[in-house]
Chain A
Amino acid sequence: MFTNGSKYYLGLSVVSAIVGVAYMVLVNPNDLGALALFVLATAAGTVAGFSLFIRDGEVATAAEAIEAARRAPGASIWPIVTALGAATVLVGLATVPAWFIIGIAVFCAGGLEWMIQGWAERASADERWNEEVRTRIIGGLEFPGLAAVVLVLIAYAFSRIMLNASKNGATVIFMIVATVVLIIGSLVAVRPGFRGRSLATVVTAGSVVLLVAGVASAFAGEREELTKAAKEDHFSAEHRECGPEKSKYWDKHANNTVSLRSAVIATVTVENGEVYAQAVGLQTKVGSISVPRSNPVALMFRNKDEKEYRLTVNLGTQEVAQTGVKEEKKDCTQLTGKNQEQILLLKITKPAENPDEPYTLTVPGLKGEIKVIVP
């Protein structure tokens, strides 16, 4: 039952597993050594399974082996794919890391396919059986893999088109694409005759159009306001704009994200020229807000007045790179119009060291301050 090759690999697998357990008990259960031994056990077990399945690649008779070896290798696309993967790896090394990862994936996929095909062509003298055994080994991976690649390409191409088109144009494109998909789906449902070659032609043509438009859009770049918003770098940590408003193109709806709103610890409201705070959970107004040390929390700033205001957190002063020069350390929201809200994220690592410089929240242009206390 067990072939010579499978016996060897099975033995290696079992011994590795036993040594792995011993290593965990005697040396260190969290060490990489144990992990390496279990990986070896798994890999050897897999190879043992292969060996059993293909009977160590041995054909039944010498004559059969000669016949199988005599046949010239069939035409194959996989060497090209593997070479393409290797080239992409090199390009990725010199340019963008993403290409390196894509190259590795293509190289591995191409190499695996090439290896399986090469082995299957010589598995026996029976070509039909060879084809069958190749399909049994790799067929289950080929279609899902191909489908995943096509889906990624389509999603990527579609996203490039949507980012390139104007806001209104993107809406129209989305409606058209959705309508076309609905019509094709309905046709498939009600007209059985539409399913064969006609459907394949339509889907192929649609995919080609989508890919061409996607590539063209990727080269054309994103629409103007997105490019300008990226240049503003509004949401970066270095972005400080507590003075006059300069940013124009930033995403003004970013504050509505659920993750930000779920961390609100207090709201600060401007109403009839008064600034007041309410801690989440209490209905009363409070003069101070307690912020846990070293943990990010969000403050909700709500403006109910006509004039635009921003919320500023004053975190004392700090020395500029051991120059002796001190600068104010503060952060703020953008200007907020009537009945609008903005989130101010705070992460304070320690209490105010100088009693004369307590942490406070203020709204420039209005009187009053709210203390921020880090216990």
Chain B
Amino acid sequence: MRNNRIFRRLAPIPALVAAALLTGCARNAPQDTFVPKGPNAEKIDNLQNIVFPMAGIVGVIVLVLAGYIFVKFKDKGQPIPSQAHGKPVVEITLTVIPALILTVVGVFTFRGVFDLAETRDTELIINVTGQQWWWEYDYPAQEKYGITQPIITSGQLVIPEKTKVLLRETSRDVIHSYWIPALNGKKDAVPGRIHLLRLEADQPGLYAGQCTEFCGLSHANMRMEAVALSEADFAKWVANQQRAYAPPASGLAKEGETVFLNQCVRCHQVNGLKKTDGTPAIAQPEQNVYSGAAPNLSHLMSRNTFAGAMFDLVTEKCRKDIWGASSAEFGATYLEGVTEDCLNQNDLRAWLRNAPAMKPMYADPTKLGASGGKYRGMPNLGLTEDDIDKLVAYLLTLK
């Protein structure tokens, strides 16, 4: 009878444990920390494989013992047992065992930390700057990779496969944290500091990431994707990014360029774009945006995402084609860029129509005393449908 009662009381426990385990299951989990896709993430995974089981076993032992003690010695009105002090054998044992465990964990951890901090054999450097709520990537000139002029992009970090890439991270406003779980651990991007993070991908493909330091209203929408290309495809990507600006000759796209010059260039730079008088159109985000920067839209349509990688520039079908491409085909599929058929018109038009409605931002400067009346994010520009048509046509030319 008593056993039945105990059994009934303990019955929910296996169900709870099973439920907890089920929360770890997922079919599509691009940010799974246990599936490394590069040597740096592999080092972390190897460390986890040692530390997690050890910590798990210790945790289970402690919890089971604590539970046993709670049940066995609960107050039933019995007299307080005699109190004993000073058991050298027990005390030494309980000191030595944790010390040994921590020593083993410490040795592997320190080795891993120093391995991950290695930068002397870096092959490619990229400056990564975080701001509310997107990431900017600029590639300083590096002859080895054919980068003769700095390349600037956002949303997607493009790297060559099997290459030791060093990210030099900083921030323009608050603390952010850069994390592509498949390629390495996370590293904070702090204003006024430059932190180094090494990435390396084993094979071509797309690797998803997420800002992991709470950075304000749209922190959850501050995403990123690393795109690894073969060496040959990376060279093609570099060549395309350095291609001179080609203004649209005529038609809707040409009219869109004028709208862009009147509206967008206040914050967004397109390298090579010139004003009607022939002088360079230089964006002045420092006068309008709190962080002092807005995404550079040169070669926008060579990317797959926009608005801090929150929205796809390509339709769902095209996105599936890119994400699902084999390693051998991935480069060619990605480098195709955004074609007119693949363009995600819905989200892009909705964004141009009213950006703050698509992504939470502090886009009303009248309520922003603390930022000196400057935007944090893109405001609603009040564009007409006609303007939006023209702009979409123009943006499509930015390949």
Contact = CB atoms under 8 A, between A and B. Distances in A.
B193 A294 contact: no
A259 B192 CA distance: 7
Given A280-B194, A281-B125, A281-B168, A292 B136 contact: yes
Interface of A: 259, 262-265, 279-283, 286-290, 292-297, 349-351, 353, 373, 375
B226 interface: no
Best-buried of B192, B271, B279, B286 by chain A (most CB within 10 Å): B192
B170 A279 contact: no
Interface of B is mostly: loop
Interface string B324-341: 000000000000000000
Interface stretch (B35-43, B148-156, B343-351): B148-156
Contacts of B296: 375
Contacts of B204: none
B140 interface: yes
A292 B283 contact: no
Nearest to B271: A375
B184 interface: no
Contact of A350 (B120, B279, B286, B291): B286
B129 A295 contact: yes
B141 A373 contact: yes
Contact of A351 (B139, B151, B282, B293): B282
Contact of A295 (B152, B170, B196, B269): B170
A294 B170 contact: no
B150 A281 contact: no
A373 B296 CA distance: 15
Contact of B138 (A282, A353, A375): A375
A279 B292 contact: no
B308 interface: no
Interface of B: 119-120, 122, 125, 127, 129, 136, 138-142, 149-152, 166, 168, 170, 172, 191-194, 196, 269, 271, 279-280, 282-286, 291-293, 296
Nearest to A262: B193
7 contacts: A265-B168, A286-B140, A289-B140, A293-B285, A350-B282, A351-B269, A373-B140
Contacts of B150: 288, 290, 373, 375
Contacts of B194: 262-265, 280, 297
Nearest to A283: B120
A290 B140 contact: yes
Nearest to B190: A262
Best-buried of B122, B140, B279, B285 by chain A (most CB within 10 Å): B140
Contacts of B170: 263, 292, 295, 297
A294 B282 contact: no
A294 B192 contact: no
B141 A350 contact: no
Contact of B127 (A262, A286, A290, A351): A290
Contacts of B149: 373
Given A281-B125, A350-B283, A292 B141 contact: no
Contacts of A287: 141
B55 to A, nearest CB: 32
A279 B140 contact: yes
Contacts of B193: 259, 262-263
Contacts of A293: 285-286, 292-293
B127 A292 contact: yes
Given A264-B194, A292-B127, A349-B286, A375 B142 contact: no
Nearest to A288: B141
A288 B291 CA distance: 25
A292 B191 CA distance: 12
Given A351-B282, A375-B138, A281 B196 contact: yes
Contacts of B129: 292, 295
A281 B122 CA distance: 6
A292 B141 CA distance: 13
Closest 9 CB pairs of A and B: A294-B292, A290-B140, A375-B152, A375-B150, A281-B166, A349-B286, A281-B125, A290-B150, A262-B193
B303 to A, nearest CB: 16
